[in-house]
Amino acid sequence: MDFKVSPSKVEDARVTVPGDKSVSHRALMLGSIANGRSDVSGFLAGEDCLQTLAAMRALGVSIAQPGPTEISIDGVGLQGLKASAEALDLGNSGTAMRLMAGLLCGQAFDSVLTGDASLTGRPMGRIITPLSEMGAEIDSNNGKPPLKIHGRSGLRAIEYELPIASAQVKSAVLLAGLYAIGTTRVVEPAATRDHTERMLRSMGVRVASKGRQISIRGGQALTACRVQVPADLSSASFVILAALLAENADIVIANVGVNPTRSGVIDILRGMGADISLENSRQLGDEPVADIRVRSSELRGISVDPAVVSLAIDEFPVLFVAAASATGSTVFSGIGELRVKESDRIAAMAEGMRNLGITVDESPHGAVVHGGGFTGGTVESFGDHRVAMSLAVAGTVADGEVLVRNVDAVDTSFPGFCSCMASIGAGIEAIDRDCT
């Protein structure tokens, strides 16, 4: 499937976007090892989360789905998971792969984690190292999936300093820490999203946070609870971008998670001159949410502080497009982590924007994007959902039609993307590749 994008007139609107992917993954995993029934509303029924749902069912957990965004999980307790008869296919989801590895390495049975061509090409050494220090035995393909996790009980607690800020690695170690003897501590070099800690606490687990150190004592039982999943800020960022680039739009995105450990995209865009405000701020369960109001703005180039990179790690494709539309140049540094996402996102965005008339200077751990106007053209998403959607939004303000190739992966995180964008006036159409 491809996107055909026409120059568009984005107009005033009030919209919603799908549920938060990070929270949905964690609700499935933690609800499965809790005692009792966890009812989840606002669940993201995208392909990534549905793969996690299928994996938990294969591990013996009964999960009902009474509605597209509602699930009910009958938790089996900390020691109640059962061996799957087959490898657990996690599709395109690096989050699921890394968190499941932490969850499964303390079980009494063996497990195999695999995924699609993109996921099996992604490095997993960063979780294999700390989990092995805890006593886990994990076989891999030179540090890449498939991962064979040999069951064992009695992992040992460790203190682990993350070499790179990563919520996925932190969460994997904390989940393994539930099955370890003693207290496991993780020390972060910079703050990362804390959805795991928040949800563990909401299920009765004591998780201590002091500065950049997070600690969890092994053997604690989880108690089922109601989980209300907020709308995903990463998905909302595409609507935010479209509104900012439009000529005269005023758009409200309802009920969006604005957890401060992942709202860096808002802070960075505000630093570029974006008119973004948070209205009706409140708590949804253990997560802060708000309605995000965005008005079209004249953006200016800035040097993005590397210290905020971990708070906006998934939104840099959006920020690249914003930078291309700004006056002057924007300097991104300390973003080398983007090279090992679903694609090499620095290279993918640089190539895509060059094909649309924008000058981009790459470096191993950064890029400089020079502001200008987008031309029409054909760009490749490299099978990366965030690259695909970012380049599609760029096409709405191009001076000609833009074709974004290979966009099937968009359904992993934002089912209904085209219809949502159409509701604000963006001309993004999904077409069969055979028709191009």
Q: What are the angstrom distances between the C-alpha of 178 and each of 155, 200, 205?
A: 9, 10, 9
138 vs 187: CA distance, rounded Å: 23
Angle between helices 316-324 and 233-245 (to 10 degrees): 10
Q: What are the angstrom distances between the C-alpha of 211 and each of 48, 132, 193?
A: 32, 26, 14
**Cβ–Cβ < 8 Å for 349, 393:** no
40 vs 226: CA distance, rounded Å: 6
Residue 387 phi/psi, 5-degree rounding, is -65, -45
432 vs 436: CA distance, rounded Å: 7
At residue 118, the 3 state secondary structure works out as coil
Residue 422 phi/psi, 5-degree rounding, is -65, -30
Q: Write out the E strands in 225-272.
A: 227-228, 250-257
At residue 431, the 3 state secondary structure works out as strand
Q: What are the angstrom distances between the C-alpha of 351 and each of 354, 360, 397?
A: 5, 8, 18
97 vs 389: CA distance, rounded Å: 23
Is residue 314 among the annotated active site residues?
yes
Which position among 2, 232, 314, 384 bears the catalytic label? 314
Q: Which residue, among 287, 136, 161, 288, has the nearest Cα to 214 in the 3D structure?
A: 161
Partner residues linked to 227 by β-bridges: 40
Q: Which residue, among 198, 201, 187, has the nearest Cα to 229 in the 3D structure?
A: 198
At residue 188, the 3 state secondary structure works out as coil
426 vs 240: CA distance, rounded Å: 12
**Cβ–Cβ < 8 Å for 73, 118:** no
At residue 156, the 3 state secondary structure works out as strand
Q: Which residues are catalytic?
A: 314
